Structure formats: structure tokens, C-alpha cells
Structure 1
Amino acid sequence: MKVGARVFKTGIAIVIAIYVATAFNVPAPVLAGISAVFAVQPTIYRSYRTLIDQIQANIIGFLIAISFVLLFGNDPLLIGLAAIITIVINLQLKNENQLTISLVTLILIMEQQDGNFTEFAFWRVAAILIGILSAFIVNLVFLPPKYETKLYKRISTTTDDILQWIRIGSRSSTEHIMMKKDINRIKENVTKADSLYALYKEERETFRKNTVAKSRKLVIYRYMIATNKRSLDILKRLHRFENEFHQMPEDFQIQVHHQLDLLLRKHEHIHLKFIGKVKPGLMLEESTDTYNKQLLIDIVKGFRLNTDEDSPVHYHMVTLISSMLEYGDYLEHLEMLVNSFHSYHKSENKSIKINDDDQL
């Protein structure tokens, strides 16, 4: 089990919040620690948005609680009514994500208490705000996330897994259950890559030139993920139609193997080019031994010409070849994006290097 940066940040935020609240003699400093838990976010931008939204939610809960207690009292029925109003106002302001903190503030202020109510309410809100601000500072200063590195590593690992299984699955009878489990695991990795992409997209750059370079990288990463989905589709079809594929004539299998190998090599070549291990603009060796899109199209046409009736086996093979054609189109576009990225924007793209020792 790996302990991520967010776990450490949460612990640090709680400690800082309680210490600060204690230093200012805030009653019930533990409330600062509790509010810090709600405020820790995976990115600095989300932390900033959470800070704004939670301050707004706290003010709403504070004002409604003060109004109800001063005007009507703090009977449990009144607390319930105040909670309903708080929910409605937050929903109207499209701040539904912070409903919990708003309601917590409301209930903490409206609970039974002795002494000066206004002072009591002020200190309760102060404790919660200290927790929110502590979490924001921790997000800003401690362990800044490297989502680009995590994203590329996730994409790269997923690509390696898919290409390895395609090579194995197209040539031999694999363990069906084991391959199915790995396909499910790969699907989860693709979903995680989508999540990391969203987090990386949210991160804000300090300088404009970095923002422009990042926008270009976002396009490439999006196409990398999309290309992985196309290759995963080929793997799923090879797995599902394994028996049908091996029933096909040997020359058909050889042609498909060969074209798949060329596509997989091209995919690997593009990734090496992206991280700078292959010279930008360098293409795979030009020879007769290159990916032949027209050959795959001719195979499909041959099915139509050489069969008197539709064959389920042929139909399944047509879907496989269609997936290969789509995969090839995505690879061509991805390679064009990577070549353009390195050829025309060299000065802005120095941060593209990914160290081999960077970990997920």
C-alpha cells in the first residue's frame, strides 16, 4: 500500500490548524482540525476554489444561525428549518459541494451554549476558518503535486501493458481468464489516466509561455489516452474472437500479425520521440516493410468478394481490421502532434523531459 502526498498533507494541515487555534486561544481548537480535513484538495487550483467556496458556505451558515438564534431561539425544530434554508441558499448559489461545511457551521453555532452567544458564534466560525486557511497553505507550500509526471507514467505503463498483450494474444492461445483480468486492470488504468488528465488540466501555470506550452501538451496527452483506448479495443477483440482468428487462413493471420507489429512499433516510437529519446521528426525506417493501410482495406474487400453469404467469422475479423485501421489513423495524428510540438516550439518545451526515476 502506497501512502500518497495527500495523506501527509491532511495530517500536516490538521496539526497546523490545531496549533494555530490553540495559539489564538480559540475555544474547541479541534474544530479547526476537523474543518482542515474537508479543505485538503489534490491540486492548488482546487484548493483555491475550495477556499473561496468554503468561506462563502461558512458565512451563509453563520448568518442564518445568528439570525435564527437571535430572532427565534435554538429549538431542534428551528435548527432543522434553518438547515433547510441553508441548503436551499447554497443550491441557488451553485455551491452544493460545500453543503456539509455550511451545515456543520450552522449546527455548531445553534447548539445549546452558555454565555455571550455572539462571542460564541464568532469563535466557532474563527476555528473553522483557521482550519480552511491552514489546509490552503499546506496545499500551496507542501509537496506540490507533479501531475504531468504521474499522467505520462500512467499512460506509458498502460501502453506497455496493452502492446505486450496484443503481441502475445495475436500469436498464441493465452490463458483466457488471466488475459480477461489484465484487460479489466488496464481499463481501470485508462480511467485513472483520464482522472490524472483532469487534475493536470486544472493546474495553473505562473508564466504565459508555460501556459501556451502546457496547452499543446494537453492536446498530446488527450490523444495519447485516446490512442490507448483504440489499442485496447484491438486487444479486447483479439481476446473475444481468439478462436475465430486462429480459424482463419494462415496467410491472413500472417498479414494481420505483420501489420499489428508495425503499428505497435510505431506507437512505441512516438512515445520515445515525445520524451526526447528519439530525435524529433525522425520517422521509422522508410522501406517496403511499413504499415500498409490499403492492404487491410483490400482484405476487407476480399471478404465481400470471396464469400457467397455473410460469415460470422469474417464479420468478426472485419471488426478487428476496422479497429486496426482506426488505431493507425490515431497513431498518424499523434505522431504529427508530437513532431509539431518538438519542431516549432522548442524554447517553451524544455519541461517535456520525464526522468526515469519519477514514480507514480
Structure 2
Amino acid sequence: MKFGARILKTGIAISLALFIAELFHSPSPSLAGISAIFAIQPSIYRSYRTILERAQGNVIGAIIAIVFGLYIGNDFILIGVASVLCVALLLQFKLENTVGLALVTLVIVMDSPGNDFLEIALIRFGTIMLGLVAAFIVNLIFIPPKYEVALFQQIYNTNNEIIKWIRLNLRHAADFPLLKKDMSWMQKQLTQIRNQYELYKEERTFLKRNSVSKARKIAIYRQMILCSQKAYELLKIQNRYENDYLQLEPTKQEVMRQQIDYLADKHEQLLLTYIDRVAIDAEYIEDHLAQDPKELMDLFLNEMKSDDPENNPDEYHLMRIIACVFAYQETLDYLEKLIHSFKIRHTDENKIDISVTDE
């Protein structure tokens, strides 16, 4: 775990919860701090959704605790029985994420002293709810991180690493132990990119014009991530079946190398086009998008056919490589359509202010 804004916000939320609890003269202000720990979230939307869910979970836990405390009892065995009942209800209402804090609420409320049980139980419940409110306030006050900027930069940096290794593999210059280590890093990066994409997608806009633009961007980023995944899969197939690639005649290797190089260059150019680092030629775009990729596939199949079966590489492995190349091309072609439509038809509201050099 890296030290970041969420860790800082957690500390501030705990302090604010304790302060508010002290302000209201709560006898157990630490309960508010505990509640705030459970409620802090990386975005305003998630914080809003969390406070609603956890409030429902806390109410269920508190009601069960009060009913048991008033009418059944609150010894350690009954606390366990009440906990089981609470979890069952939360699962029934699809509130699995609230189980932890709801059980904390239940145990604290049921553990209230016998005298004035109801009053103390309600005070403890209210103190826990103060912690949720404090965490939500902190998320509202603190400006959330720029998820779009972080998302694009992660995609761009990960793509650069993947494409670098694809080109090294094509020229038989890869250091395989280092490549294996980097492929593990790439896989982790792709997972982080998907998580960052979810945070960006959850961000809410208040103007209708911005919401339309945001919807287009979401579609583009989703396709960017798919393109990165296809490039990574191509790299894995390259590495796995390198010997089959080397068995091809030099001229046929060159055909494949040229096509993969073209796709890698195209991928880099599309990302730079999206952030307005590369200009768009509208006439070229329309002609280029009208090309039929079937002609290229026919060329590949003809080039890969060998008259000498003994020296021919494994056809299954060869087709795996070719299939990855064309899957990569297909996703890039669709990304190209999305980006060019975004840039040409909606120029006024779709300005992108992202730098690939910022950390």
C-alpha cells in the first residue's frame, strides 16, 4: 500500500468524528472514530453510496440489539445468536458490505449497561452514525483526485512498456528473465487500470452537456483498456511461440513483423491523438476506415502456406499468433473510430487537457 490521499483522508475523518462526538458530549467518542474508519471512500459517489448502505446496516444491527437487550437478554451467548441473525438479514437485503460495521454496532449496543439500557444504546448508535457523517463530510470537502488524468497516464505508460517488449521480441532482442518479470508487472498494471476506470466511471457530472461528453469518454477508455489487454495477450503469445515464429522463412517473418509494427505504431498514435498531440486528417480517416481487413487476412494465410511440410511450423501455434494479431487490429480499428468521431464531430465540448509527462 502506498501513502496517498485516502490514507490522509482517513486520519482527518477520524479526527473530525472524534471532535464532533466530543462536541455533542458523547460518552463514547471513540465509537465515532471507529465508524469513520469503515466509511472513508476514494470518491464522493462511493462515499454517498457507502453511507446509505452502512446506515441501513447499522439500523438493522441496532434494532436487533435493542430487541434482544430489552426482551431476550444480552449475555455473551445471545450476542452470538443476535450476530448470526443480523448477518442473515444483511445477506438477505444484499448489504454484504455493511456486515463488519453492523456487527460492531450490534455488539456495542448489546453490551450497554442494564440500567437505562435503551438510552445508552441509542446514544452509542447515534455516535456511530456521527462517524459515518464525518467521513462523508471529509469526502465532500477534499477535492477528489483527477481520475481521468491518472487513468490515461496509467494506460499510456503500460502500453509503452508492452509495445517496447513486442518490438524487442520481433527483433529477437528480448531478455527473457526480465521480460517475465515485466509481464507480471503489466498484469498488475492492467488490474489497477480497470480499478481506476471504475472510479472514473462512477464520477458524476451535473451538466447535461458534460454528461454526454463523459459517456463518450467512458466508451473510449473502455476500448483503450481492451486494446491494452489485446496487446498484452499478443506479447504473451509471441513469447510462448517464438520458436514457431523463427521457423518461418525470413520474408514471411518480415510480413508479420511489418504488420505488428504497424499496429504498435497505430496504437501509440491513437493515444496521442486522443490528448491532441497528433493532428487528425479527416479525409484520410474516412478512406482508411473504409478498408476491408479481410484482404490483409487473406495475405497472411497465403504467406503462411508452405510447400515444404517438414519445415513448416506448427499450424496451430501459427494460427494462435495470427489470431492475436487480428484481435489486436480489430480492437484498434474500433478505438480509432471512437476517437476520431469524438474529435471531429464534437470539438467544442471535448477538449482533453492531459499530459503524458505528469506524475
8 Å CA contact 2:167–2:261 kept in 1: the answer is yes
1:187 has 2:187 as partner:
yes
Aligned-pair RMSD on alpha carbons?
2.3
1:221 corresponds to which residue?
221
Q: Distance in 2 between matches of 1:154 and 1:63?
A: 46
Q: Provide the residue aligned with 2:341 in structure 1.
A: 340
Question: TM-score, structure 1 length as denominator?
Answer: 0.92
Partner residue in 2 for 1:120: 120
* 1:149–1:358 Cα contact (<8 Å) kept: no
**Deviations, residues 327-359 of structure 1 (Å, cap 9, x unaligned):** 122211111110100111222213x22134543
* Shift in Å, 1:277: 1.0
Say yes or no: does 1:33 pair with 2:33.
Answer: yes
Aligned to 1:152: 152
Q: What is aligned with 1:251?
A: 251
Q: CA deviation at 1:296?
A: 4.9
Q: Could you tell me how far 1:134 is from its partner in structure 2?
A: 0.5
Deviations 1:177-211 (A, max 9, x none): 11111112111111111111111111111112111
- Cα 1:271–1:79, aligned 2, differ >3 Å: closer, same or farther? same
1:330 matched to which residue of 2?
A: 331
Partner of 1:70: 70
Q: Please say if residues 112 and 121 of structure 2, whose CA atoms lie closer than 8 Å, have aligned partners that are also in contact.
A: no
Q: Is the 8 A contact 2:18 2:32 kept in 1?
A: yes
In the alignment, structure 1 residue 174 sits paired with structure 2 residue 155: no
- 1:31 and 1:131 in contact (8 A); partners too: yes
2:134 is matched with which residue?
134
Secondary structure class of the residue paired with 1:332 = helix
Are the structure 2 counterparts of residues 177 and 357 from structure 1 closer, same or farther at C-alpha, using a change threshold of 3 Å? closer
1:318 corresponding residue in structure 2: 319
Of residues 124-133 and 252-261 in structure 1, the stretch that sits farther from structure 2 once superposed is 252-261
Structure 2 partner of 1:20 = 20
Secondary structure, counterpart of 1:58 in structure 2:
helix
Following superposition, the deviation at residue 291 of structure 1 comes to 11
Distance 2:9 2:193 in 1: 23
**How far apart, CA to CA, are the structure 2 residues paired with 1:54 and 1:68?**
21
CA contact (8 A) 2:35 2:101 kept: yes
Alpha-carbon distance change, 357 to 25 in structure 1, aligned in 2, over 3 angstroms: farther
Unaligned runs of 5+ in 1: none
CA distance in 2, matches of 1:150, 1:109: 42
CA offset digits 1:213-243 (Å, max 9, x no partner):
1110111111111111111122111111223
- Determine the structure 2 residue equivalent to 1:269: 269
Q: Is 2:301 the partner of 1:300?
A: yes
Residue identity opposite 1:227 in structure 2: C
Question: For each residue in 1:119-142, what CA deviation from the matched residue of structure 2 results, as whole angstroms up to 9, or x when unmatched?
Answer: 211211121111100001111111
- Cα contact 2:248–2:312 (8 A) shared by 1: no
Tell me the residue number matched to 1:49: 49
**Aligned residues of 1:201 and 1:218 also touching (Cα < 8 A):** yes
One-letter amino acid of the structure 2 residue matched with residue 128 of structure 1: I
* Contact 1:68–1:82 (Cα < 8 Å) also in 2: yes
Identity of aligned residues (%): 40
Distance 2:357 2:330 in 1: 32
2:238 is equivalent to residue 238 of structure 1: yes
2:314 match: secondary structure: helix
Mapped partners of 1:357, 1:139: distance in 2: 28
Residue 322 of structure 1: CA displacement? 2.1
Structure 1: distance between partners of 2:86 and 2:243: 61
1:106 maps to 2:106? yes
8 Å Cα contact 2:153/2:356 also seen in 1: no
- Residue 349 of structure 1 corresponds to 350
CA displacement at 1:265 relative to structure 2: 1.2
Q: CA deviation at 1:112?
A: 4.9
* Cα offsets for 1:3-55 (capped at 9, x unmatched): 12111110110010011111111112111111100001122111101111111
Which whole-Å CA distance do the structure 1 matches of 2:267 and 2:217 have between them?
17
Q: Is the 8 A contact 2:64 2:106 kept in 1?
A: yes
* Cα distance between partner residues in 2 of 1:193 and 1:267: 17
Amino acid at match of 1:36: A
Whole-Å separation in 1 of the counterparts to 2:235 and 2:129:
51
Name the structure 2 match of 1:59: 59
Give CA-to-partner distance per residue, 1:260-290, whole Å, 9 cap, x none: 2211111111111100111234558x99xx9
Work out the number of aligned pairs and report it: 355
Does structure 2 conserve the Cα–Cα contact (< 8 Å) formed by 1:259 and 1:291?
no
1:7 alignment counterpart: 7
